[in-house]
């Protein structure tokens, strides 16, 4: 027969073990699972946080988005208000091409966790409002002047990003879009010359009629 002291000690140990097991079971039932609610080091969240992007890459995305929106809106305006058929056709091409580029840009930005601007910049809004007040040959000359200036800047910015972007997807977008922008610039310069020529012809006719 076991001594009373040994029996007492064994009973206390058994009780302590039971309480410990009960506490662990309750903790497992009430605590959220770390692996179920948080990605582990090897799990992917699906997007790269915007904080991981270099500041220059993020700025490029935002400015390219706003510039693309402006090209689309001004292109639509040109189709409505331009006097020259060539300027109208140029406006349609700008609206179509930049709309496609904007969709690609949105996908890239979404994958990087970047929220792109959804409104025109203040300077683009001022330019739109100024052009909206013009018509005929005056509109054509002002619009094409703006398009040449815009695309010179676009080509420069995209060339820089194609060389120096830190993010591979953004670098590829800049490089693949650059040839289209260079074509736009060449076409804009040609169309601007046509707009100037037609504007001068209109002015000469007006002066002769007086």
State how far the Cα of 75 lies from the Cα of 58, in Å rounded to an integer. 26
Diameter of the chain measured on Cα atoms? 135
Give the model confidence (pLDDT) of 112-143 as tens digits.
999 999 999 999 999 999 999 999 999 999 99
pTM above 0.85, yes or no: no
State how far the Cα of 79 lies from the Cα of 83, in Å rounded to an integer. 9
Give the model confidence (pLDDT) of 69-120 as tens digits.
999 999 999 999 999 999 999 999 999 999 999 999 999 999 999 999 999 9
Give the model confidence (pLDDT) of 7-50 as tens digits.
444 444 444 445 445 444 454 444 444 444 444 433 333 344 56
Q: Which residues contact 86 (CB under 8 A, 6 or more apart)?
A: 191, 194, 195
Share of the chain above pLDDT 70, in %: 70
What domains, with CATH codes, occur in the chain? 52-203 (1.20.1260.10)
Q: How far is CA 146 from the centre of its chain?
A: 22
State how far the Cα of 44 lies from the Cα of 39, in Å rounded to an integer. 7
């Amino acid at each position: 027969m076991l001594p009373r002291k040994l029996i007492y000690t064994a009973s206390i140990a058994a009780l302590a073990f039971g309480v410990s097991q009960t506490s662990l079971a309750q903790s497992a039932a009430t605590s959220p699972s770390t692996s179920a609610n948080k990605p582990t080091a090897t799990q992917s969240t699906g997007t790269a946080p915007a904080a991981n992007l270099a500041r220059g890459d993020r700025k490029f995305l935002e400015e390219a988005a706003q510039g693309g929106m402006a090209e689309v809106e001004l292109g639509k305006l040109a189709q409505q208000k331009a006097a020259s058929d060539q300027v109208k056709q140029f406006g349609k091409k700008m609206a179509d091409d930049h709309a496609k580029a904007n969709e690609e840009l949105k996908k890239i930005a979404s994958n990087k966790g970047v929220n792109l601007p959804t409104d025109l910049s203040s300077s683009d809004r001022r330019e739109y409002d100024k052009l909206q007040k013009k018509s005929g040959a005056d509109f054509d000359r002002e619009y094409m002047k703006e398009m040449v200036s815009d695309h010179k800047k676009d080509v420069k910015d995209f060339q820089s990003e194609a060389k120096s972007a830190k993010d591979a997807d953004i670098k590829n977008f800049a490089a693949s879009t650059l040839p289209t922008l260079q074509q736009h610039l060449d076409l804009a310069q040609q169309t601007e010359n046509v707009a100037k020529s037609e504007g001068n012809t209109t002015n000469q006719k007006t002066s002769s009629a007086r």
